Amino acid sequence: MPDPTTLLDLMRHAGTPETAPFLETGDGRRISYGAMWRMSAQMAHTLVDFGVKPGDRVAVQVGKSPEALILYLACFRAGAVYLPLNTAYTHDELDHFLRDAAPSLVICAPQDMAAIDALKIHNQPRVTGLAPDGSGPFTALSEGQPESFDDQPRGPDDLAALLYTSGTTGRSKGAMLSHWNLASNALTLRDLWRFTSDDVLLHALPIYHTHGLFVATNVVLLAGASMLFLPKFDPDDVFRLLPRATSMMGVPTFYTRLLDDPRLTRETVNSMRVFISGSAPLLAQTHDAFRERTGHAILERYGMTETGMNTSNPYDQDRCAGTVGFPLPDVGLRITDPETGTERPQGETGMIEVSGPNVFSGYWNLPDKTHEEFRDDGFFITGDLGLIDTDGYVHIVGRAKDLVITGGFNVYPKEIELLIDALDGVMESAVFGVPHPDFGEAVTAAVVLDAGANLSVADIEAALVDRLAKFKQPKRVLLVDALPRNAMGKVQKTVLRDTHASLFKA
């Protein structure tokens, strides 16, 4: 056969036995690889019956279930483009996505079908339902379908998925990901992280996002491994299933919540091979505390919707706290001047740019925006600021839009956050800029204290006086109960900026 270039090609090439376990739910339901292939065939027939043709978008906004995950594969089998949508999106937000992507079919919670039908979108898509327990009209239609399906042929450059960005700078944009974007990244990660058919992944992530869908699921599929499939992160479920798992992928919040629980011990994680973290920065203190408690150094990596994964801490070498490791073997990564694109020397902060088979082809229906985000030599401008240290580890400093320009000086929030986070009594912090009548922007810090900590604003300010240049020192420190986060645990600095925009107004 020709070289496999799609996820389906690679899965068939791997030859995982049909009897091998694919996933098991928290309540003990088991699905084998053979059952997964049969269910995805039935669903692919149903998609075709709904009029879905190769290249059509299928929008999916449903709760996490085995059926929802298998639907993802069914879309590929039917040649469709999979469009996952966060279950928290409102109908107003959905209106934008559906008008922009123009899907031929929308699969949603059964109770939302009427509301989506009522949106009155041009070329109105058909609508059907899939409930969080796996039931619903779509499942009922699939159950009577044949258990075999002739997969629609797709090539490496054909569109496989359309994922909308978080929309922190305007309306969300649809990132176009090809079959080879997904397959090549999963292959690289499978090998780099040493996943085999013996692995059991504890899967507690959502599946409408790159992390839970493309990283966790695709790596498992290409390794012929299995999953313990939880609807969400729940510490009781995680501790109950950890002894049966060999690996886990999570956001930093997962690990801080585990550390807060006395059940986390070396004995608890005795069967585990690797813990992986992503989607938001992992604090060095979390990394160190987890290693001290469990003996495991969390493996942090760096990626984004448009590219999948770009870097990873090594499996065998030192996993350095506060870094995201080295560029993946097939990924080019450089640090450049944000204005000129000139490459900067090692150790200097600048814009992270990447190239490789993982990098998306562009934004849906936005050729001008796509052109703006790529250099002439094909490197994608990530919008993230970072540096490469003398050992080659990549450090993420922050988003370019988070850069604070105060009195004509550039201030990188991460530098200040690291100092604040290191103070006894501080749980975490976020540094951001707000308008200032004299300086243009004022460096501002929102700080969350540990429970019972006896630390004042004056204490924090005093601790920074001799460690930061005057222009970098926060002009205001705010003690807050919690930092605003999105569904994947990323701190939303835009919310902080908006909330405190009038802080320095006369």
Q: What tens digit of pLDDT does each residue of 313-363 get? A: 999 999 999 999 999 999 999 999 988 899 999 999 999 999 999 999 999
Distance CA(271)–CA(161), nearest Å, equals: 35
Residue written as tokens 């951001």?
A: 432
Q: What is the pLDDT of residue 168?
A: 41
Q: What is the pLDDT of residue 470?
A: 84
Contacts of 176 (CB under 8 A, 6+ apart): 159, 162, 360, 361, 362, 363, 364
pLDDT in tens, 418-472: 899 999 999 999 999 998 877 778 999 999 999 999 999 999 999 998 888 788 8
pLDDT in tens, 122-179: 778 999 999 999 999 999 999 999 999 999 999 999 999 999 986 444 568 999 999 9
Q: What type of residue sits at position 245?
A: A
DSSP 417-480: HHHHHTSTTEEEEEEEEEEETTTEEEEEEEEEEPTT----HHHHHHHHHTTS-GGGS-SEEEE-
Instruction: Compute the CA torsion angle 358, 360, 361, 363 (nearest 10 deg).
Output: 180
Distance CA(126)–CA(157), nearest Å, equals: 27
Pure H helices in 124-169: 137-143
Q: Record the tokens describing residue 451, joined without a space.
A: 């429970």
Q: Does the model's pTM come out above 0.95?
A: no
Q: Record the tokens describing residue 26, joined without a space.
A: 């928290």
Distance CA(491)–CA(488), nearest Å, equals: 9
Q: What is the pLDDT of residue 87?
A: 87
Q: What is the pLDDT of residue 167?
A: 47
Highest mean predicted confidence (pLDDT) among 44-53, 110-119, 398-407: 44-53
DSSP 310-343: EEE--SSS---TT---EE-TT-EEEEE-TTT-PB
Q: Which one is predicted more confidently, 368 or 412? A: 368
